[in-house]
């Protein structure tokens, strides 16, 4: 029974990082109907730049992590300017946007490899005083707790931002209908840019937390989370923020319990992707989706 609880906790922790990654993904999809496949590359660069700031630049984590998060947001602005803005008027902009985001992902990833090298690196040991608590046989570390607190706090801030601030309301208006939003005097270009900034900043933050959780950072670390993030946002419903959070945690739990129940770590993603395929076929709007699937 204690193994069950331990796995529940582990799944919840990693799931909260998946959720944080996925809300950035789903935010852009909700607003622009574009699948931004460069999100995982920004996730990687967020983690690696945080590492650079703590080691080479010698900043403390409290300075480095917010800076790296901001840097990821700026990368998001660059991404939007270069890869998405020029395509906005095109009729097939969501498919060509998908492809230009792949192009930017390749450019970002090769930049990461050129700057940081191809090998796996980690945050310096003892950067955080990592305390370990034992509750009976259940182990909980302060790092895990900090990761989940940061992830959940960012999610709460994002939700509040979307719900209550003027900009957040404008973002939702643009997501609902770009033309109506423009008629109402909303500066759509600016809102879309800000959406990219916020989405990418969250992606970068997820990269930092992921690097801390697994104690490993590499230029190709985005590959595995790219598809997991897709699974999460489809599970939760494209464009739905609560769906992305719940989907992330569900995905984290399904990973650890698949391994626990079958004893085969190779099967880790099998359940999730089978479920993903089935959801797309049976109920493409996802569990908490907006109830419509737009055509390409």
Please report, as ranges, the residues that interact with other proteins according to CB under 8 A: 33, 35, 82-83, 86-87, 90, 94-96, 98-100, 102-107, 109-111, 113-114, 118, 223, 226-227, 230-231, 234, 264, 266-267, 269-270, 273-274, 276-277, 280-281, 284, 293-296
Q: By C-beta, is 5 or 273 nearer to other proteins?
A: 273
DSSP 125: T
CB 284 → other proteins: shortest distance, Å?
6
Q: Residue 88: CA atoms inside 13 Å, Cβ hemisphere, count?
A: 13
Instruction: Give the whole-angstrom CA distance, residue 9 versus residue 253.
Output: 9
CB 113 → other proteins: shortest distance, Å?
4
Q: By C-beta, is 110 or 165 nearer to other proteins?
A: 110
Contact present, 225 and 272 (Cβ < 8 Å): no
Helix-strand-coil split of the chain, %, nearest 5: 75, 5, 25
Instruction: Give the whole-angstrom CA distance, residue 101 versus residue 99.
Output: 5
CB 259 → other proteins: shortest distance, Å?
12
Instruction: Give the whole-angstrom CA distance, residue 120 versus residue 218.
Output: 5
Sign of CA dihedral 73, 77, 83, 87: positive
DSSP 217: B
Q: By C-beta, is 158 or 230 nearer to other proteins?
A: 230
Q: By C-beta, is 64 or 105 nearer to other proteins?
A: 105
CB 15 → other proteins: shortest distance, Å?
18
Q: Residue 8 burial by CB count (10 A; 0-12/13-18/19+): exposed, middle or buried?
A: middle
CB 5 → other proteins: shortest distance, Å?
27
Q: By C-beta, is 6 or 254 nearer to other proteins?
A: 254
Q: By C-beta, is 153 or 267 nearer to other proteins?
A: 267
What is the C-alpha radius of gyration for the chain, rounded to an integer number of angstroms? 19
DSSP 134: E
Q: By C-beta, is 1 or 296 nearer to other proteins?
A: 296
Element (H, E) at 135: strand 132-135
CB 114 → other proteins: shortest distance, Å?
4
Q: By C-beta, is 117 or 124 nearer to other proteins?
A: 117
CB 267 → other proteins: shortest distance, Å?
6
Helices and strands counted in the chain (H then E)? 11, 2
Instruction: Give the whole-angstrom CA distance, residue 158 versus residue 25.
Output: 13
3-class DSSP assignment, residue 138 = strand
CB 185 → other proteins: shortest distance, Å?
30
Contact present, 152 and 242 (Cβ < 8 Å): no
């Amino acid at each position: 029974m204690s193994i069950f609880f331990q796995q529940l906790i582990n799944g919840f922790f990693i799931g909260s990082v998946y959720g944080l990654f996925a809300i950035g993904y789903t935010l852009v999809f909700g607003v622009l109907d574009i699948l931004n496949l460069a999100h995982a590359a920004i996730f990687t660069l967020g983690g690696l730049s945080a590492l650079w700031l703590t080691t080479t630049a010698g900043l403390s984590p409290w300075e480095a992590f917010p800076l790296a998060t901001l840097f990821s947001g700026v990368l998001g602005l660059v991404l939007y300017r270069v890869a998405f803005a020029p395509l906005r008027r095109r009729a097939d902009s969501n498919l060509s946007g998908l492809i230009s985001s792949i192009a930017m992902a390749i450019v970002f990833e090769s930049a990461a490899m050129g700057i940081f090298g191809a090998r796996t690196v980690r945050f310096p040991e003892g950067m955080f005083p990592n305390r370990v608590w034992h509750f009976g046989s259940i182990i909980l570390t302060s790092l895990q707790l900090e990761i989940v607190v940061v992830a959940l706090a960012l999610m709460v801030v994002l939700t509040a931002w979307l719900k209550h601030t003027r900009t957040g309301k404008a973002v939702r208006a643009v997501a609902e209908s770009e033309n109506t939003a423009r008629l109402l005097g909303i500066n759509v270009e600016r809102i879309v840019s800000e959406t990219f900034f916020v989405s990418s900043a969250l992606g970068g933050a997820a990269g930092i937390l992921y690097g801390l959780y697994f104690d490993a950072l590499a230029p190709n670390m985005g590959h595995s989370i790219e598809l997991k993030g897709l699974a999460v946002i489809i599970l939760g419903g494209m464009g739905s923020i609560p769906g992305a959070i719940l989907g992330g945690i569900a995905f984290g739990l399904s990973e650890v319990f698949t391994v626990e129940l079958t004893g085969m770590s190779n099967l880790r993603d099998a359940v999730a992707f089978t479920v993903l395929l089935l959801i797309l076929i049976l109920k493409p709007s996802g569990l908490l989706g907006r109830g419509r699937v737009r055509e390409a």
